Amino acid sequence: MSRAFAYLASVVLFSASVAQAAPKLADSAALHAGIAGLQQDPSTMSAQGFAYDAAAQIAGLYGLKPAPRPQPLLEARLPSGDAAKVAAGDTQIALTQLSISEGTNNQLRVQQAQHNSKAAIFISGGVISLQDLATAAQTQGVDGIALADGVVTLSRPLVIWQGAALVIHPGDVLRMQAADGAFLLNFGRLDLRGATLRSDVAAQAPESQYRPFVLTSGAGEVYAEANHFQALGMAELGPFAGFVISTQGLFASTTAAVLRNNHFEDMGGVALIGTKGAQVTQNAFLASRSTALTLTQISDGAALGNTIYRSKGGAGLRVAGRSKDLLVAGNLVMGGLGNGVQVDGGSFGVTMRGNAVLDNAQTGLTAKTADCLSVQDNVIAANGASGLRLTKTGFVQITGNAVVDNAGSAIAVGAQLIKARLDLRGNLMAQNQIGLSGAALHLVTLRDNDLTAQLPRMFDGEFAQHQAAYLISGRQDRTAIFQISSAAADDADFASVCSQE
């Protein structure tokens, strides 16, 4: 057991002794001691299962159910086939191909980093390992890649064409040099297991400096497990943000991307765009320079058991671009300078379950223009603004969560869409600045929520006029349904509406 877990276990035992009279309500001191315990040794955060264990420990303070752990994924087979061909080529050919799927936005900094050099390395028509690539390039007189002391140094762009595969084996190290405009662009297959990929840019370098990146585009495929990625990518620069899998368009890949047990540190960001069935499980995202993990236009995918710690900009985790039927469970999102989790862009059918969203500088979970959002059994605590903020949302279920000790409202609701519905059931709201606040409400239903320790203010905004009636209703029957509506009650329920589309 790590030092962080041992410390947190003692916190849980302490909280159980002080909360016997109200087992769902741990005191603020126990919560903050638990957060401090998790922060004691950040190096442990990349351990497999850390986020699940940490989220479950925090959930235990409030008697919540932890997120179920997924069944182990079957290990993908290594690519096999004839030896790939290696040749020198023109970087602009690859960037032109890239513009077909990604457009030309943000390419200027990449082109400027080449310093008028057109030299790139191309892999085509087969399978090759990283070290064999370096050896083959040397044999053929292709400059820009060298192997020394077990480290492969890349000093020009490397492109994997469709139909080719690069395998980077356990223990391999790929170092990409920023001064020479190096990057790794994959249109084929990239298989990474137990390797290290990093740039030579220092963590304190200005964000305006070029940083090498790893980008998979078009029909490209990725399997990445137990790797260490460091100091890659340029924050807020779209596909060049760090480690990006953008498989959208007419000839997009049909193979699900897998990111499992990787360690991402000092990254401009990690993003998956347009993939179906993607699995992002038990990774650690530490000190990201912008949004740590972005999932855009993802369908039928999952983000499970990831640790996202101290993101320096953007959100810790963002779901956007009409993502659909996505499960976000068992993640620990803590200590970021922006929102913890952000769901927007018309996303539909996102389920947030058993996550711990703690100590972020802004809102814990914010959702905008999202529909059929389910928020279950999460701890959203000690954030610098609201716990949850819902804006222009459709059907939303918030069930069985502990939303505590946030500097703003526990739940803030604004501008619900016509025919929208918000169901609040079985939630603990305690020690936030305000319990429920809202404006332009359409239909809100409350049942069996615990606001007994919500001090100093329970309701604000349009909720405030209903506080007396709510308190009277609760004294008579806490499990009774209490409804706030600006229109006639809608009989449609979450299950019937959200199983459609």
pLDDT tens per residue, range 38-75: 988 888 999 989 999 999 999 999 999 999 887 776 67
Residue 251 pLDDT: 63
Residues facing 459 on adjacent strands: 436
- The pLDDT tens digits for 214-242 are 999 999 999 999 999 999 999 989 999 99
Residue 103 pLDDT: 84
Side-chain-side CA neighbours of 63 within 13 Å: the count stands at: 13
- Measure the CA–CA gap between 256 and 453, rounded to whole angstroms: 45
Residue 26 pLDDT: 65
Q: Which of 317, 256, 254 is nearest to 284 (CA)?
A: 317
Residues of the chain with confidence (pLDDT) below 50: 1-23
Q: Was domain 84-275 assigned CATH 2.160.20.10?
A: yes
SS3 content of the chain, % helix, strand, coil (to 5): 20, 35, 45
How many other C-beta atoms lie within 10 A of the C-beta of residue 143?
A: 12
SS3 2: coil
Q: Which of 305, 277, 387, 299 is nearest to 341 (CA)?
A: 387
Residue 13 pLDDT: 35
Own/partner pairs for 456-460, CB < 8 Å, 24+ apart? 457/433, 458/434, 459/434, 459/435, 460/409, 460/434, 460/435, 460/436
SS3 307: strand
**b/e per residue 208-226 (b: at least 16 CB within 10 A):** eebbbbbbbbbbbbbbbbb
Residue 105 pLDDT: 82
